[in-house]
Structure 1
């Protein structure tokens, strides 16, 4: 069998999980039993929440969900900013047997309509500051029964029999909650991963998945302990951020810093100086922005023992500049929503700048050609990964599940090669998906938006490196007859996309062409556009 059971990894940590297992016990109740209840768990907007306080609030959320008629395995959508309420809602839902589904807070109404109807979420927990985006959708959500609002605004949101205030709702719920009798292979939570057609895929993660990520990566690579303080620029609704800012620190009784705002470069330095984290998790675009600040060496980062980067490949130059400036290493790695966290990584004392590192103990990596045969060392192949944190399936997407998940192995969609020393080097995507600012972007989605503009005849979007070597969307546009490229039209097209898609998806540059390169059958030759994107200067017709 081509994709059979991989051989045992002798370096993998031993992980034993009982058949009956509810992961909320490992991340919440265990700390109370072991005497860590009074330790700070979350720093949030100048306030401090202990492990005991988060555990009690999670119990109240779980009981509140039971009072709304939520049953085992029903989905609970979380449209929440990074906050103690997110932590309590996530773990509280799992503890009572429901399945939390964190949603990206940066999306558009159409995205929420799709995901809420696809997941058939019965209850939505949402911050009031996000309510205006969501509220017009409510009549179009036939499965949604109740909304619980975390009020982070001075003005209140109108309440009724199906719209509840979080503080009042939890205050009337019991602080005691029994663990739902789930098994280690029951659904625990979902995360949505972007799709190549623009439609997101619900990755169904099981009760044991977070434990494996913790033991394989957080403990083995980062060597986390209860003295650590963790700051993640990646938000909790991302797979990367969920580990960094929630279940990694909660696995050892450590501390997390939750920041609800945008992770701007100067703000990250302010948080580092204020809270003195020991581990900082970022993405390459953020590290580039932080290093570009004037007199950047003035910031005190002496509390940090490690920095981590994921989401897209970290250019060697950025890694080296950061190390030289702050004397703190950045461990670059690759993870995915399907595998939940990082599965190939550089290590402390073993960093190869520009590479993704080596497989994390517990994961196996395989590079294969288009026929599924393993490639020779040094040759580029499609990356497959085996490991116990891989999602069980894509919800309601049977064909996509079969095409991606092959027994013990999953197709990551990335192309890599492995050098003679065992380091893995990123070589691009197997499909046309782009990783922009740490988030997946579908070129098809951008193209479908641009083509709706009255001036656009044809368009194709590819990834192009910016001055920092980071990939950004670049649109090639053929205008309708009689129209001429102008600077004003370029900015109009960018704004047109920004208004209709999440802001990070807009094309940073636009090049106007008389026609798109195509095959004899009419397919766009994207490889030629990628070559053009690397060589065409951004002047005159290209912006």
Structure 2
């Protein structure tokens, strides 16, 4: 049988997780730790539908918190540990977090966030030591067995929007038995030919606060696949782990593929990667030449997909991609992709429009933002704002990206959030932020500033603005450069023509789509 607790009962000694330090955790041990967490959270008074926030690096404690929530009817919010205190405080408050489980590696930001959000000390728990936080080992201590009132919980992952503030994607709880693996989860892996057990080993090289990364690890464990976790991704270390653990599948982003190809030929040749059955990439457009070189090296095991936290998507195998280069594939089973014009009418093959999708009867809402939820919908379909077209065979080609989103190293960065901070500086009259080409990361962040009256644009001002931003934004959101203009191009209604600023940087360059 599949499912963490079923496997733990039948094969308690089976390897579930191999941590970054090489420690192996069995299914029995993981289930027991998740049970203790679940008991402790119930003892705190958490009820079905409440939320917990987790700020931790890749490791067994993060997964125990995840599975505790999944079996206790709780929403679990995984926080990007690059965020600064006020950003995490916002998520704590917006999600109505009833418990916060942080790692001592992030002690300073955890304390600042919990204090700003007004979270009581009784709701603060630490892996390791954090001042004012209880030891996470106290959760469920002295008890035994599973938590009371077991029912399926859900991840509640935050995805930023053009308004600049992240929004929690919150799905209704199903009331299902948490011992049963959702059909959607096993079906999703079926798209990539990944069956239960079957000697599968999954390698996770990215942070588990990413939607897809968390899904791949959680589903792997639920289907009896051992999950090998990396703390920080390194290309040669990835090859070493593939050979050491006979890894069969992994989820990567195009930047990682570029770094792998950048290894010297003698290093690449040192490692046996013949165990690989499917290496799945998404999260950002992959340059066609990178894709071709990876297919030459690893063979047709490289699969691409296009999907959303909100649900639905497409996939294309390596063999298909060679026939349809540039495509992100056809809709996977249960998913619907349609191209609509501005009036909501479906467009014929080959004609570009807004990409809309849905996944079965899946419902979601942006937490506390009904307007954003409704704006993204057309009937049962929803859109991320991407523009593309379907060909005669039903393959999706993305014509353009979300209007303003920057994708750097596989990470989504939303300019409005950066603009909203910089525009508050007294020496800034107006600001626009967008992505410009970067050889390795795909895009990097550029800010164009209209200085306030009487302010001289120079290097001193640039340093002042960047220092100001560093206090308010995570490092990965900081502009890499700032240019200055006398006036930003806006129409009489205030609409910014960002393309007029962005397009010159892309002249002679083609975005990988």
Superposed pair shares fold, TM > 0.5: yes
The aligned counterpart of 1:78 is 54
Q: Deviations over 1:319-370 (max 9, x none)?
A: 112222333532121121111xx62111253223322111111101111011
User: Which of 353, 356, 359 matches 1:384?
Assistant: 356
Distance 2:255 2:462 in 1: 23
Task: Please state how far the C-alpha of 1:273 moved relative to its aligned partner.
Answer: 4.1
Task: Please state how far the C-alpha of 1:443 moved relative to its aligned partner.
Answer: 1.1
Q: Deviations over 1:467-492 (max 9, x none)?
A: 35823322223345666665676566
Contact kept, 8 Å, 1:435 with 1:441, in 2: the verdict is yes
The 5 A counterparts of 1:312-391 are 312-327=284-299, 329-339=301-311, 343-347=313-317, 349-351=319-321, 352-388=324-360, 390-391=362-363
User: Which of 197, 202, 218 matches 1:230?
Assistant: 202
Which of 484-493 and 344-353 deviates more? 484-493
Task: Please state how far the C-alpha of 1:291 moved relative to its aligned partner.
Answer: 2.0
Contact kept, 8 Å, 2:70 with 2:153, in 1: the verdict is no
Q: Deviations over 1:121-168 (max 9, x none)?
A: 1111111111211212333334554111111xxxx3345xxx321234
The aligned counterpart of 2:191 is 220
The aligned counterpart of 1:423 is 395
Q: Deviations over 1:412-432 (max 9, x none)?
A: 222111223322112224542
User: Which of 125, 136, 154 matches 2:101?
Assistant: 125
Which of 195-204 and 431-440 deviates more? 431-440
| CA 54–523 in structure 1, closer or farther in 2 if over 3 Å, else same | same
Contact kept, 8 Å, 2:202 with 2:227, in 1: the verdict is yes
Task: Please state how far the C-alpha of 1:237 moved relative to its aligned partner.
Answer: 1.7
Q: Deviations over 1:251-288 (max 9, x none)?
A: 311111122x3324444344334433211211112222
The 5 A counterparts of 1:250-329 are 250-259=221-230, 261-295=231-265, 297-300=268-271, 301-327=273-299, 329=301
Contact kept, 8 Å, 1:75 with 1:122, in 2: the verdict is yes
Contact kept, 8 Å, 2:40 with 2:138, in 1: the verdict is no
Contact kept, 8 Å, 1:475 with 1:507, in 2: the verdict is yes
The aligned counterpart of 1:60 is 36
TM-score w.r.t. length of structure 2? 0.88
The aligned counterpart of 1:540 is none
Distance 2:244 2:487 in 1: 54
Is 1:466 the counterpart of 2:438 in the alignment? yes
User: Which of 414, 420, 423 matches 1:448?
Assistant: 420
| CA 355–484 in structure 1, closer or farther in 2 if over 3 Å, else same | farther
Task: Please state how far the C-alpha of 1:401 moved relative to its aligned partner.
Answer: 1.8
Contact kept, 8 Å, 1:306 with 1:331, in 2: the verdict is yes
The aligned counterpart of 1:177 is 146
User: Which of 64, 76, 91 matches 2:67?
Assistant: 91
Is 1:167 the counterpart of 2:137 in the alignment? yes
Q: Deviations over 1:171-229 (max 9, x none)?
A: 4332x1156354xxx75331111121111111113447982442332123232441111
| CA 181–481 in structure 1, closer or farther in 2 if over 3 Å, else same | closer
User: Which of 236, 240, 243 matches 2:215?
Assistant: 243
Task: Please state how far the C-alpha of 1:509 moved relative to its aligned partner.
Answer: 4.1
| CA 390–509 in structure 1, closer or farther in 2 if over 3 Å, else same | farther
C-alpha RMSD of the superposition: 2.8
| CA 187–469 in structure 1, closer or farther in 2 if over 3 Å, else same | closer
Partner-residue secondary structure (3-state), 2:105: helix
Which of 66-75 and 517-526 deviates more? 517-526
Contact kept, 8 Å, 1:232 with 1:281, in 2: the verdict is yes
The aligned counterpart of 1:192 is 158
Distance 2:472 2:361 in 1: 34
Distance 1:299 1:479 in 2: 54
Distance 2:466 2:507 in 1: 22
Distance 1:323 1:286 in 2: 14
Task: Please state how far the C-alpha of 1:496 moved relative to its aligned partner.
Answer: 4.5
Distance 2:462 2:293 in 1: 34
Contact kept, 8 Å, 1:39 with 1:51, in 2: the verdict is yes
| CA 293–506 in structure 1, closer or farther in 2 if over 3 Å, else same | farther
The 5 A counterparts of 1:507-522 are 507-522=479-494
The aligned counterpart of 2:112 is 136
The aligned counterpart of 2:90 is 114
Is 1:439 the counterpart of 2:411 in the alignment? yes
Task: Please state how far the C-alpha of 1:384 moved relative to its aligned partner.
Answer: 1.2
Distance 2:203 2:28 in 1: 21
For structure 1, the residue ranges without an aligned partner over 5 or more in a row are 1-24, 538-543
Distance 1:116 1:293 in 2: 41
Contact kept, 8 Å, 1:315 with 1:353, in 2: the verdict is no
Which of 467-476 and 108-117 deviates more? 467-476
Distance 1:190 1:528 in 2: 37
What stretches of structure 1 move > 6 A for 4+ residues in a row?
none
In the comparison of the two structures, how many residue pairs are matched? 497
